[in-house]
Amino acid sequence: MTSPNFHTVDIALAERSYPIQVGTGLLGTADVYVALPKASHAVVVSNTTVAPLYAEALLAALKPRYANVQLVTLPDGEVFKTWQTLNQIFDALLSEGCDRKTILFALGGGVVGDMTGFAAASYMRGVPFVQVPTTLLSQVDSSVGGKTGINHPLGKNMIGAFYQPQLVVCDLDTLKTLPTRELSAGLAEVIKYGPIADMAFLDWIEAHLDALLARDPVALAHAVRRSCEIKAWVVGQDEREAGLRAILNFGHTFGHAIEAGLGYGEWLHGEAVGCGMVMAAHLSHKLGLVDAAFVERLTQLVKKAGLPIVGPQLDAKDNAGRYLELMRLDKKSEAGDIRFVVIDGPARASVRGAPDALVREVIDACCAG
C-alpha cells in the first residue's frame, strides 16, 4: 500500500466479508486493487460529472491488472436511475464481449453505485463489482451494505437486488470537488447514525460540524469511518433487512414521500432524509418516546448542516393525505400499513406503525403552509 493515509473497516456478512477502505489518495493507487479477482475485462461505470474528474486515474490504476479496461459514462442524476440507463451498461458489456468474470467498478455517487451494483448482480446472473463512491452520501451510506437497484415510475428503488461488492474504496480526496449542497446531503446520513446507534457520535458531529462543512480531512475521515462502522455492524447482523437493518431508514419514510411527491431529483435524497428525520423525531415525540428537547436538538443540527427542516407542500387540497398515500407505497409498508422508524431512547430506534391522525398532525406541523 503506497498511500500513507488509510483505514480499513471490515463488513462481516454470513455469506462473505469485504473491506471498506477509507483514506486519501486511494482511487488512483494500483495497490488498492491487488486482492480483487483476476479477469480479462474491467469496466468502470461513471457519469458525465464524475468521469472527467476521476475516471482517468482509476483506469490507469486498473490497467496493470486487467487486459481490457473500459469506461461507460452515464447521464448524471436521479432521474436517470432507470431501466433505460441500466441497459446502457448491459449494451456496453455485451457489445464488448464481457464474460462472467468481468469486474465492474462504480465510480460516482449513489445513483451510479446503485445502478452499477444492480447491473453486476444481473449481468449473466452475477459478476463481481467494486464501489468507488465519490460523494459523502455514498461513502457513508449507499456504497455499504449491498442494496442495489433502479427506480420505477411508481416508486423509488422498487427494482433491485441485495448484492455485495468485493471492496469499497472511499477516497476522501473526491469530497474536495463535491458541491456544497451534496456535502450537506451526505451529512444527513452521517447525522442519522447518532440517534439510532451512537449518541457519543452525535455529540462529536455537533462539535465538529463546522469542520465537516469546511471539509477538514481529519474530521471527514472520522465521520466516514464511524458511519461505515455503524452501518457495517447493523448490516452484518441483518443483511436482508428482516428486522434490525430497517433502523437505517430513520427519516426515510417521510423522506421518500417528499422525493416521490416532488419528483425524483427535485430535492436531493439527503435533503429529503434530513427533513424526514425532523418529521420522524416529531412523530417519536407525539408517540411519547422522546422529549421535546431531543426534537429541537436534532432539528437544529439538521438545519446547521445546511438541510431543509420544513417539509414541502405535496398537495394543495390535502397535503397530509398525499404524504400518507405516498408512504403507503413505501417498500417498508406491509399490507398498506406504513412502518415508521422512530427513536425510542438514546441511540435506540425501532420500527412501528402509527395512527393516521397522529401522522397527519406531524405532517401539518412540519410542512410549509
Query: Which residues are annotated as catalytic?
Result: 125, 147, 189, 231, 241, 245, 249, 252, 256, 269
Which x/- pattern, by CB under 8 A, does the window 104-123 give for a second copy? -----------------xxx
Work out which of 293, 316, 335, 357 binds a second copy, going by CB under 8 A. Answer: 335
**Contact status, residue 271 vs residue 185, Cβ threshold 8 Å:** yes
d(CA 221, CA 212): 10
Q: Please, are residues 44 and 107 in contact by the beta-carbon 8 Å criterion? A: yes
Q: Which 163-222 residues touch a second copy, going by CB under 8 A?
A: none
The least distance separating a second copy from the CB of residue 123, rounded to whole angstroms, comes to 7
Determine if 360 is a binding residue for a second copy (CB under 8 A): no
Cβ of residue 330: shortest distance to a second copy, in angstroms? Answer: 9
Is 328 a residue that touches a second copy (CB under 8 A)?
A: yes
The span from the CA of 123 to the CA of 87, in Å, is: 10
Cβ-proximal residues to 74 (8 Å cutoff; 6+ apart), any chain: 45, 46, 47, 48, 80, 85, 88, 89, 112, 115
Residue with smaller CB distance to a second copy, 288 or 336: 336
Q: How far is the CB of 347 from a second copy (least distance, A)?
A: 27
The three-state secondary structure class of 18 is strand
Identified binder of a second copy from the candidate list 4, 16, 125, 293, rule CB under 8 A: 125
Only one of the segments 133-141, 192-200, 224-232, 330-338 lies at the binding site for a second copy (rule: CB under 8 A); that segment is 330-338
Has 38 been labeled as part of a binding site?
no
Residue 77 assigned ligand-binding role: yes
- Taking CB under 8 A as the criterion, the residue among 10, 12, 30, 40 binding a second copy is 40
Cα 94 to the center of its chain, rounded Å:
28
Q: Tell me if 15 is assigned to a ligand binding site.
A: no
Directed axis angle between helix 319-328 and helix 252-262, to 10°?
110
User: In 3D, which of 130, 101, 96 has the Cα closest to residue 40?
Assistant: 101
